[in-house]
Amino acid sequence: MNESKKPKPGNRRNRGRGGRRSKQKTSSAAQPKDTKPDRPEAPGAVAGAAPGEGRRGDHDVPTGAPLPADSPFLQMGLSPTMLRSLAAAEYLEPTPIQEGLIPRAMEGGDIMGQAQTGTGKTAAFAIPILEQIEPAGKGVPPQAVVLVPTRELAVQVRDEFAKLARGFRLHLVAVYGGKPIRQQTEQLRRGAEVVVGTPGRVLDLIARDTLHLEHIRVMVLDEADRMLDIGFRPDIEKILRRCPSRRQTLLLSATIPPPVERLAHRYMRDPEMLDFSPKDIGLETIEQYHFSVEPERKFELLVRLLGREEPRQAIIFCRTRRGTEKVHRRLSRKFDAVEAIHGDLAQPVRDRVMRSFREGNTRFLVATDVVGRGIDVTSISHIINYDIPQFCDDYVHRVGRTGRMGREGVAYTFVSPEEGNELTRIEMRINRLLKRDELPGFDALAMPKDREPGEPLPEKPAPKPVFGRRTRRHRRAL
Ligand code: AMP
């Protein structure tokens, strides 16, 4: 990391908009006065709120009760416009990661934050970005790019930005594969200050001369470990090399394995490390159990468990796309409002399924890890690991889908007699034992009559879990 490139205290970027200089006093700032707004709120201004991403011409100024007088948000030197946006979004108090990250990020330095979704991490980087960038005209290249591993997360992050950017004169565009590139090209041509995208599509747009990175002030690598797992490293490096070296880089990652450290070492300037990892927050509030079950009895166990638990909303995680489809088909015959989501589905179908789940119309969502990770729905009460996750970190991510924003949640993991080691590795990873659960009157370990212990399974089992690098075969299966 190059010390000479460290941002100087006088840099505009270092101060952030309304940064440390303009700290407000709690009592007087309780009702944010807008006598001198940081940003023009001209009619026609809009932060590209979904679904009209990249739209111009709307007018959407947030209203709502002011933040409480003792809200720590008022101590962060945020602009009146942002304070009103927070109030309108009903974000009255910062989450721990927001309290830790926002003031540091507003100073302009590079930050590596260990955090998972469900902690408010998107707003933690969106707020300082929105406070730093300027509304730009048509055709002006973006000032911030957020790289994310999946399409779902791209949409989710863009939506979170849009929620907080109401009242700012900014345009946000999400770019990701599975959607015609023409529409995204058109949105970029119209101008976007913030672009959220998957690395592949971002590179594609750069190659087409549609996306230019020479004005980038802030680059975010969100879920960096996941992006490297999926194999995005070369794309990320190509993108980073095209950004100005005088930029701020924020890296968020649930885990910091050596490849993430190497990436940070190469492309960040003396990053400050902040730890908001799941062992400190998140999974503690979630009840976690396992069932020992013969593979052939898993479906029956699932049906009985759902009957016992009556979840408000549940995600049922399977290891493969085929397995997901199969469980979905069988479950749909037993329950209403069941949907499936996995990497084989066309983007419009994935969008529809996610919308239905978010709106509460879908009760049971059967999913693979690749799409499950980005799901952020606060009313998920149950996570069921129908197949034990391939990677210990996937367990943390799956289970972190519930118990969000302080709500209670419960997670069940189905473990076959051959998967004892995998269960132990998970327990070591989360530093906690998964209590064993049983259903009275149902012997999940009873063999079907026509099979003896040790006999091969009638169906081809899912690929065996590998607790190392994700292979191409595993990626394909998700
Ligand atoms: P994230 O970790 O970014 O996926 O955020 C999880 C959820 O928390 C999202 O639905 C956000 O809209 C919500 N959220 C983020 N910050 C706050 C806050 N300060 N107060 C209430 N909800 C929040």
Last residue of a domain, one of 275, 306, 329: 275
**Does ligand 1 lie within 6 Å of residue 116's CB atom?**
no
Decide if 305 is inside a domain.
yes
Q: Which pLDDT score is estimated for 426?
A: 85
Same domain, 224 and 358: no
Mean pLDDT of the chain: 80
Q: Which has more confidence, 395 or 27?
A: 395
Same domain, 251 and 305: no
Determine which of 43-52, 313-322, 331-340, 418-427 has the lowest per-residue pLDDT on average.
43-52
Residue range 48-76: mean pLDDT, rounded: 60
Decide if 104 is inside a domain.
yes
Decide if 12 is inside a domain.
no
Distance from C-alpha of 85 to C-alpha of 64, rounded to nearest angstrom: 9
Q: Which pLDDT score is estimated for 62?
A: 53
Distance 117 CA to ligand 1 centre (A): 9
Same domain, 227 and 84: yes
Distance 92 CA to ligand 1 centre (A): 11
Same domain, 260 and 284: no
**Does ligand 1 lie within 6 Å of residue 117's CB atom?**
yes
Decide if 468 is inside a domain.
no
* pLDDT digits 0-9 by tens, 356-370: 998 999 999 999 986
Q: Which has more confidence, 119 or 416?
A: 416
Helix (H, G, I), strand (E, B) or coil at 435: strand
Q: Which has more confidence, 27 or 219?
A: 219
Same domain, 184 and 286: no
Determine which of 73-82, 252-261, 275-284, 427-436 has the lowest per-residue pLDDT on average.
275-284
Burial class (CB in 10 A: 0-12, 13-18, 19+), 90: exposed
- pLDDT exceeds 50 at position 86: yes
Last residue of a domain, one of 247, 275, 303: 275
Same domain, 260 and 286: no
Residue of the nearest CA to atom 1 in ligand 1?
A: 120
Prior bond of 461 cis (ω within 30°): no
What is the percent of the chain where pLDDT is above 70?
A: 76
Decide if 14 is inside a domain.
no
* pLDDT digits 0-9 by tens, 191-228: 999 999 999 999 999 999 999 999 999 999 999 998 99
**Does ligand 1 lie within 6 Å of residue 119's CB atom?**
yes
Decide if 476 is inside a domain.
no
**Does ligand 1 lie within 6 Å of residue 91's CB atom?**
yes
Q: Give 263-330 as a DSSP string.
A: HHHHHSSSPEEEEE-TTTTTGGGEEEEEEE--GGGHHHHHHHHHHHH--SSEEEE-SSHHHHHHHHHH
Instruction: Quickly list H helices, 59-197.
Output: 80-88, 96-106, 121-132, 151-164, 181-190
Lookup result for tokens 């590139």:
181
- pLDDT exceeds 70 at position 168: yes
The tokens describing 355, both together, are 């919308």
Q: Which atom of ligand 1 is nearest to the CA of 95?
A: 19
Same domain, 318 and 295: yes
- pLDDT exceeds 80 at position 30: no
Q: Give 382-416 as a DSSP string.
A: EEEESS--SSHHHHHHHHTTSSGGG--EEEEEEE-
Distance 368 CA to ligand 1 centre (A): 23
CATH of the domain at 312: 3.40.50.300
308: left (phi over 0), alpha (psi -120 to 50) or beta: alpha
* pLDDT digits 0-9 by tens, 222-250: 999 989 988 999 999 999 999 999 999 99
- pLDDT exceeds 60 at position 279: no
Per the structure, the complete domain to which residue 229 belongs is given by 33-275
Same domain, 208 and 75: yes
pLDDT tier for residue 449 given thresholds of 50, 70 and 90: low
Distance 65 CA to ligand 1 centre (A): 18
Q: Which has more confidence, 453 or 162?
A: 162
Report the number of distinct structural domains present in the chain: 2
The tokens describing 423, both together, are 């269960």
Q: Which pLDDT score is estimated for 19?
A: 31
Decide if 328 is inside a domain.
yes
Q: Which pLDDT score is estimated for 448?
A: 63
Same domain, 264 and 339: no
Decide if 27 is inside a domain.
no
Residue of the nearest CA to atom 21 in ligand 1?
A: 91
Q: Which pLDDT score is estimated for 116?
A: 74
Same domain, 114 and 243: yes
pLDDT tier for residue 395 given thresholds of 50, 70 and 90: confident
Q: Which pLDDT score is estimated for 465?
A: 45
Same domain, 40 and 171: yes
Last residue of a domain, one of 275, 305, 320: 275
* pTM of the predicted protein model: 0.58
Determine which of 5-14, 59-68, 115-124, 336-345 has the lowest per-residue pLDDT on average.
5-14
Same domain, 350 and 205: no
Hey, how many other C-beta atoms are within 10 angstroms of the C-beta on 137? 6
- Cα 252 off chain centre by: 10
* Best of 90, 91, 276, 379 for a ligand 1 pocket test (most atoms within 8 Å of beta carbon): 91
Determine which of 14-23, 133-142, 388-397, 405-414 has the lowest per-residue pLDDT on average.
14-23
Q: Which atom of ligand 1 is nearest to the CA of 117?
A: 2
